[in-house]
Structure 1
């Protein structure tokens, strides 16, 4: 195990640091985030309080999103990239484009009040959801192997949305001023913290669906439909506030229904992955990569956790970490087979991805297998 780089193998990249493109995007996003925060700090007297209030619910929200990702965890660098894109590039460009649209187009055409309303209901949803979705489309081009199903799209979409919502909330808390700060926090930080993640998750599902579709226009339509759903719900949410309490309540209930639907999709996708494990891994028993008890263990999150706890108690964190790598590599292997069966991976690419996974699984097994044997 010491000679291997499990993180690189599981992420499907060469050993060592993340790719240069990932580093560049993270750096650019971080710079955009710094510029956005600097501009926001000059907008009102409650920047420090707004920063604290925006960050306060973030650990809980991140934990909720990442809890959906336990069966096949996404690479940390990709999650960080998605979050920072939403918090940096998407927010900064949205500020510029929304302001330009209001100042140069809608206000001159319709007047200040009507122009602001049109910007909020039509312009901002289209601009913001498109900007958030760009990083997801980028993953479709450059890291398509990470998009193995709708859960992955929901995870990445939620990370982008959380980044965007966090920085947007800092802006609203800052301009609210001391008198309205508490009410603004209740409205945005407690009552509706998931609006942006919900919207960008719809785009994420479309992108993940496209990643599993054949080449051509069959990949474009899911992305466009997902983006359309995100824009429509965002527009409904922004427009409901100007209509009245009943409209806001109706859109809120719709959001709860969308959230329930996303959770149902995650549950169904988890069952699909479990079925793939049961279908594709048993043939590897002959090579000693998988044993008969492994399949039920790999097919259940509680069974995976119990196995790691047992290994940790008997051998410490090293073998437990090896077992965790084995579990994830086995899941990646099953999904790789599924992609190959659907014609999304040619034979050379399949072998190039499969061999490191098998090497990692065999090396990990040497570390934890003696600790999982039943006592005599």
Structure 2
């Protein structure tokens, strides 16, 4: 059972079609797809083996990171179609503008600082300047388009991470194709070498950059328990942190250490993302605990609330259920946990908890799942 926001798809699409931002998104997507077709895709025709190799490598990247990103959201999975919306912005819309802007900024760096400065710091200045604001704009666009699904700051982090994933996958594809075009020997080896190096060093970097920025933008919109000034400060700090991490990653700092230097910079990226995620996860759990606090113990008990705090404690609860209730215990405990999570979402979307049929159905599902769990050995 996948817990998603209980918005009817038909009503959702009808709402989207009335939003100017959605139509602007579609226009920009067409522009991005045309830019991709006349750029990297056109170049890939000259090296089909490299293109196929790069596509397979990036499909692996996308599948693995999509699973990881979805697992970050423990209490309310975002609908796949909306995650795809974010991914496509990162994959096609942002690069369409970033590529020419990158070239112009690198040229400017060479003219103002000289060839040596451009070689050392051009990528550190041009890349973040041309890319981060475009990906951040994508977060804003997606959050405006699907604002009914924006409930807490983690939603912004998830959509930002998906935009970063799309950008990274298409950037890696372009690097692999260009590596094959400039290699006079073997297209397959060149594309594979480029893909492997991108997967080994800095994998998920754009996911981190834009995920942190997305957290801040989501926080600014949803943290209504804080002042507007506080929310604006958090949003600005998050966006600048994503930008700063990109500068750090592209910079020549620690370059003399080689692989160790790259690993040190990557550790900084992962550490900061982990800290941001832990903070958002605590806020998610606080929302869940507060939402179900008034529910009857036959629906959810305080220990069961605590057992839903993290993925690790959920697995521990399922393991204990297997030991207590037999071979099917873990599966039935998961069903109970999913029903309790679905109840929290129904409660959040309800005006009258006692008269809302959606809440009534959710409570019924919890009772049914508990009854099934307690049927030892059945």
TM-score bracket for this pair, using the shorter chain length: 0.7 to 0.9
* Residue ranges of structure 1 left out of the alignment (5+ in a row): 1-5, 337-348
* 1:97-147 per-position Cα deviation (integer Å, ceiling 9, x unaligned): 2234456x5566567775576652212212211111112223554545644
CA distance in 1 between partners of 2:357 and 2:121 (Å):
53
- 1:283 maps to 2:288: no
- 1:84 maps to 2:58: no
CA distance in 1 between partners of 2:256 and 2:173 (Å):
25
The corresponding residue for 1:19 is: 13
Deviation at 1:172, TM superposition (A): 0.4
CA distance in 2 between partners of 1:307 and 1:27 (Å):
52
**1:289–1:358 contact (8 Å) kept in structure 2:** no
- 1:93 maps to 2:103: no
CA distance in 2 between partners of 1:138 and 1:219 (Å):
19
The corresponding residue for 2:243 is: 231
Deviation at 1:301, TM superposition (A): 2.0
The corresponding residue for 2:191 is: 181
The corresponding residue for 1:257 is: 268
The corresponding residue for 1:43 is: 43
Moved more, 162-171 or 128-137: 128-137
CA distance in 2 between partners of 1:198 and 1:16 (Å):
33
- What does residue range 190-229 of structure 1 map to in structure 2 within 5 Å? 190-210=200-220, 211-213=222-224, 214=226, 216-229=228-241
CA distance in 1 between partners of 2:319 and 2:38 (Å):
47
CA distance in 2 between partners of 1:362 and 1:30 (Å):
44
Moved more, 55-64 or 360-369: 360-369
- 1:137 maps to 2:140: yes
CA distance in 1 between partners of 2:77 and 2:165 (Å):
18
The corresponding residue for 2:76 is: 72
CA distance in 2 between partners of 1:89 and 1:65 (Å):
21
The corresponding residue for 1:171 is: 174
CA distance in 1 between partners of 2:147 and 2:34 (Å):
29
2:351 counterpart SS class: helix
Give the direction of change, closer, same or farther, for the CA distance of 1:353–1:251 in structure 2 (3 Å limit). farther
For the aligned residue pairs, the C-alpha RMSD in angstroms reads 4.2
CA distance in 1 between partners of 2:70 and 2:130 (Å):
27
Deviation at 1:275, TM superposition (A): 4.7
The corresponding residue for 1:126 is: 129
**2:216–2:235 contact (8 Å) kept in structure 1:** yes
CA distance in 2 between partners of 1:10 and 1:248 (Å):
41
- What does residue range 338-353 of structure 1 map to in structure 2 within 5 Å? 351=351
- 1:56 maps to 2:66: no
**2:153–2:223 contact (8 Å) kept in structure 1:** no
**2:208–2:269 contact (8 Å) kept in structure 1:** yes
Deviation at 1:79, TM superposition (A): 1.5
CA distance in 2 between partners of 1:169 and 1:353 (Å):
49
Moved more, 167-176 or 219-228: 219-228
The corresponding residue for 1:371 is: 372
2:267 counterpart SS class: helix
2:340 counterpart SS class: helix
The corresponding residue for 1:339 is: none
CA distance in 1 between partners of 2:232 and 2:367 (Å):
45
Give the direction of change, closer, same or farther, for the CA distance of 1:77–1:42 in structure 2 (3 Å limit). closer
The corresponding residue for 1:345 is: none
**2:29–2:89 contact (8 Å) kept in structure 1:** yes
Give the direction of change, closer, same or farther, for the CA distance of 1:100–1:326 in structure 2 (3 Å limit). same
* 1:139-178 per-position Cα deviation (integer Å, ceiling 9, x unaligned): 5545456445554343222211111000000000000013
